[in-house]
């Protein structure tokens, strides 16, 4: 589903259904390339997937529609890209995803997992700006840092390890299908990086 309605009607529609997968991503980095391929492949596998539109990212706070979609999804896929951390909406999404304690699949697309984990490189640049812009909300900035570190410590996928994108997408979709079907086998999951799983409710409907 591509959410593109008004905020109130979007919330009503989202409340009426649950999703298998919630996609968190920086649109400018990945929407028209990798992300669209991943979304389309999930849809072909009849996996109910929530992908937001820019209309749900207006104002200073994460919208109720996005919060509802996150809470109602069984698996969240976080696509970390170069400018992911420059978006406060992405970071607020990330905090909510981690707080829900459900299944999380991080994807490191064109970024080193250690740079996400330790907020180095473009992530350091983004946080330098956040600490200036949110100098009166430093606890919020701290929660963003903590969520990034926690998510980057999880078992996930690295585009610099699994290539090309077509193979990466295929591996991610198989990983998600295993999780949704309560599968625990690592067959066909060569290339998975990290060792920590997240969320006791990974394979249960909310």
Q: Read off the pLDDT of residues 135-176 as tens digits, 9 standing for 90 and up.
A: 999 999 999 999 999 999 999 999 999 999 999 999 999 999
User: What CATH number does the domain located at 7-180 have?
Assistant: 3.40.50.10140
pLDDT for 134? 96
pLDDT for 31? 81
User: Buried (b) or exposed (e) across 56-72, using 16+ Cβ within 10 A?
Assistant: bbeeeebbebbbbbbbb
| pLDDT-derived band at 55, boundaries 50, 70, 90 | low
Q: Which residues contact 8 (CB under 8 A, 6 or more apart)?
A: none
Instruction: Decide if pLDDT at 93 tops 70.
Output: yes
pLDDT for 86? 97
| pLDDT-derived band at 206, boundaries 50, 70, 90 | very low
| pLDDT-derived band at 100, boundaries 50, 70, 90 | very high
pLDDT for 103? 96
61 in catalytic set: no
pLDDT for 21? 98
User: Do the beta carbons of residue 184 and residue 178 sit within 8 Å?
Assistant: yes
Q: What is the DSSP letter of 162?
A: S
| pLDDT-derived band at 28, boundaries 50, 70, 90 | confident
pLDDT for 56? 54
pLDDT for 65? 85
**Average pLDDT in the 184-206 region?**
49
**Average pLDDT in the 122-128 region?**
98
User: Do the beta carbons of residue 55 and residue 186 sit within 8 Å?
Assistant: no
| Mean pLDDT of all residues belonging to the chain | 84
Supply the pTM of this predicted model: 0.83
Q: Which range is least confidently modeled, 26-30, 100-104, 113-117, 142-146?
A: 26-30
Query: Would you state the structure tokens that stand for residue 163, as one six-digit string?
Result: 């290539």
pLDDT for 190? 63
Instruction: Decide if pLDDT at 89 tops 50.
Output: yes
Residue tagged active-site, from 28, 54, 64, 93: 93
Q: Which residues contact 33 (CB under 8 A, 6 or more apart)?
A: 165
pLDDT for 1? 38
């Amino acid at each position: 589903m591509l959410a593109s309605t008004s905020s109130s009607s979007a919330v009503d529609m989202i409340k009426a259904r649950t999703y298998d997968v919630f996609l968190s991503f920086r649109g400018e980095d990945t929407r028209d390339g990798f992300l669209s391929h991943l979304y389309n492949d999930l849809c072909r596998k009849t996996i109910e997937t929530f992908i937001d539109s820019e209309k749900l990212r207006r104002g200073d706070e994460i919208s109720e529609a996005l919060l509802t979609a996150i809470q109602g999804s069984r698996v969240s896929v976080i696509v970390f890209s170069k400018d992911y951390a420059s978006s406060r909406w992405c970071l607020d999404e990330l905090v909510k995803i981690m707080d829900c304690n459900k299944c999380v699949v991080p994807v490191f697309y064109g970024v080193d997992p250690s740079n996400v984990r330790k907020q180095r490189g473009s992530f350091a640049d983004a946080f330098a700006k956040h600490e200036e812009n949110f100098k009166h909300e430093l606890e919020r900035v701290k929660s963003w840092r903590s969520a990034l570190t926690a998510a980057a410590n999880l078992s996930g996928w690295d585009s610099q390890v699994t290539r090309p994108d077509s193979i990466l997408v295929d591996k991610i979709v198989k990983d998600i299908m295993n999780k949704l079907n309560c599968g625990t086998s690592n067959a066909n999951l060569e290339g998975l990086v990290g060792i920590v799983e997240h969320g006791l409710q990974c394979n249960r409907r909310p």
